[in-house]
Structure 1
């Protein structure tokens, strides 16, 4: 497993911090961005492009259904508690990138890792030290047309977002309302070069 160059713990004003979720946006993120499915096999019947999974339990259910996501982001936790050992072992078995991303933030290392994983030819699992939940937002912006982003909705199931220009525009607007360095965030997410 490789660690991204800049994944060491950092101070809050480090240049790794890009965006922070403001408290007044939290309620907007509670609404699912797509249909909720509880059966991984049924969900997979509607996937016909690259699949990006955000969350340990979601990734586990997709693996159990025989489908390895093209990109998976896991952090070893679900609903703020550690996942069962069986889930942890299954979802981290293929982890190839390890990055740090503090809760309620989008930091440079995880954005770089997402970009790299989306461009990789092989399925890529990103193990996040911290929290991976918010990475669903830039994944929706950066994923190719026709791709699927699947993330967990606590106590309800898996939310399936089939990528369209409309979804991308919604996520762009939402991310623009985060606090932090949005210019650098977009430069990192949308280019091959490190900004």
Structure 2
């Protein structure tokens, strides 16, 4: 995903104040990626859905501690989006937050099904390697764009 789906906040500006400008009081926050998830939890902005794989830039990392989270797991090989991954994302949206989805494999591309199936008030946050944080406000246009990209992969 070389081209960000939403607004790219440069690394130097990806602080709590700038992130909060894009959130409303009832935003359903979704993070994809270990570093993004950890950063949001450190800011006190606990994501409703967190999708992690226990790695940052191919290095094993300990996921941030989180009390009372429902934990789900799914296998999703690198450079793929599996049907079970899509199914578990849909299931996660029906559960009481916070929900943490631990991916055995790679989570990067799961941004696409997340954008398609996320609730109306969702904000998706994910890292753009060596550039910053991408903030995606879920709209019908974003859903269509994500669906088109997903269709291209099949």
Aligned length: 148
Q: TM-score, normalised by structure 2?
A: 0.88
Distance 2:68 2:35 in 1: 14
Residue 41 of structure 1 contacts residue 65 of structure 1 at CA under 8 Å; is this kept in 2?
A: no
Unaligned runs of 5+ in 2: none
Name the CA shift for 1:91/1:136 in 2 (closer, same or farther; >3 Å). farther
Greater fraction of residues in helix: 1
Distance 2:103 2:144 in 1: 26
For residue 93 of structure 2, the aligned residue among 97, 118, 124 is 118
Cα RMSD (Å): 1.8
Runs of 4+ in 1 over 6 A off after TM superposition: none
Unaligned runs of 5+ in 1: 1-28, 180-195
Q: TM-score, normalised by structure 1?
A: 0.70
Name the CA shift for 1:97/1:153 in 2 (closer, same or farther; >3 Å). same
**1:39 to partner: Cα distance:** 1.4
**Structure 1 SS opposite 2:46:** coil
Name the CA shift for 1:89/1:53 in 2 (closer, same or farther; >3 Å). closer
**1:99 to partner: Cα distance:** 1.3
Paired position in structure 1 for 2:110: 135
